[in-house]
Amino acid sequence: MSVYLGESGCVEIQRTAVGSGFISGTLEIADVDQNAKRFSFDFPVSALITGDRIEIATQDKSNLELVKDHDYPDGLWYCHVDQTGGLRLYRTFADAVNGQYDPAIELVTPTKAQPIFVRNRDDDFNPLAQIQEYEITTNREAVDLTVLGDSFREQYANGLISGQGSIQCLWEYKYGLCDSTVDYSKELPNYFAQLVLRLEQGSLFKGRFYLHEQLNQAVWYTADCVVTNVGFAFSPASVVRTSIDFVTTGPIQLLIGQLPTYILQEDRYDILLEDGGRLEQEEPRP
């Protein structure tokens, strides 16, 4: 028998939206600032979160006039949202989180107003950084079936299944200079503080909660989750901590097997699908 320590666990999340939720608006000519590589349109505050991978598409299927050298009706990019609601587009998650000018994608000024759809679409699971501890609980509703004449209580065995949990993190909202050697695909805890306030698309995320993780064997829960509560703890001479509470929605699965792995090219870069997602490897047969 083995004893497992908590250091082998982690949490991965995939950014997603409720159902097929999308934001619609009109991209006016004056909404694009080509020099600042910045644009905006009318959307509810907090509907988009920095780091979201968004699909921008024209409603009438005409070519989207927004990104330089991109002549298609739609496109998929990472976005950075500033404090005034302005958007910059990036090709990587880490660049979007940092929101610097240089890595931002160059834009073009449209020739006409364009009605557009914007949708959150991200197929990647990113590990969550700065976790100190997490817990996840699954429970099953018990319905009393005891009747007159019974001496022992009877319970219904097939009640509803639900789950809830919490994650305790050291709060962080951006990558710093010393983070250059760290894998830039890590999600930052501040995302949850923004997620709980997100309008239109809800506070949904897909989560993988690893109980044990090794190269060729892992045990993890996977479920769609809704963030219900985000709290911050401040005290002098102490690090800022954040506590994230969530409940599961829909099926919860406890999986045992090989970790999801992806097919790489000879130069170690991902082989991408047409939608920009990574190509997942099938579990090798024994």
Partner 1 sequence: MSFSSGKDGRLYIDGQVAAKVIDWSISTSVAGLDTTTLGDLDRTNTAGIRTTSGSCQLFYYAVDPNNTSTNSASVLLNKIIKANSSGQGAESEKVLLRLGIVDGSSTEKYIEGLCLITSAAMTMAVGAVLAASISFEFDGAPRSMYL
- Residue 157 sits in the site that holds partner 1 (CB under 8 A): no
Residue 237 binding partner 1, by CB under 8 A: no
Closer of 153 and 285 to partner 1 (Cβ)? 153
The residue whose two tokens read 């939720």 is: 21
260-279 residues near partner 1, rule: CB under 8 A: none
Give min distance, CB of 155 to partner 1, in A: 10
Q: Does 240 bind partner 1 (CB under 8 A)?
A: no
Nearest to partner 1 of 135, 141 (CB atom): 141
The correct pick among 29, 30, 143, 240 for binding partner 1 (CB under 8 A) is 143
Minimum Å gap between C-beta 251 and partner 1 is: 16
Which of residues 45 and 143 has its CB atom nearest to partner 1 in the complex? 143
For partner 1, the closer of residues 149 and 176 by Cβ is 149
Among 106, 141, 183, 280, binds partner 1 (CB under 8 A): 141
| SS3 per residue for the chain | CCCCCHHHCEEEEEECCCCCCCEEEEECHHHEECCCCEECCCCCCCCCCCCCEEEEEECCCCCCCCECCCCCCEEEEEEEECCCCCEEEECCHHHHHHCCCCCCCCECCCCCCEEEEEEECCCCCEEECCEEEEEEEEEECCEECCCCCCCCCCEECCCCEEEEEEEEEECCCCCCHHHHHCCCCCECCHHHHHHCCCCCCCCEEEEEEEEEECCCCEEEEEEEEEEEEEEEECCCCCCCEEEEEEEEEEEEEEEEECCCCECECCCCCECECCCCCECECCCCCC
Residues 160-189 as x/- pattern, contact with partner 1 by CB under 8 A: x-----------------------------
Q: Which stretch binds partner 1 (CB under 8 A): 35-43, 149-157, 205-213, 220-228?
A: 149-157
Asked if residue 132 binds partner 1 (CB under 8 A), the reply is no
20 makes contact with partner 1 (CB under 8 A): no
Per-residue CA distances from 45 to 56, 58, 84, 244, 282 (Å): 17, 21, 9, 21, 41
Among 62, 100, 137, 146, binds partner 1 (CB under 8 A): 146
Q: Which of 156, 173, 232, 262 binds partner 1 (CB under 8 A)?
A: 156
Distance CA(274)–CA(72), nearest Å, equals: 14
Window contacting partner 1 (CB under 8 A); options: 24-32, 113-121, 126-134, 153-161: 153-161
The residue ranges that bind partner 1 (CB under 8 A) are 141, 143, 145-151, 156, 159-160
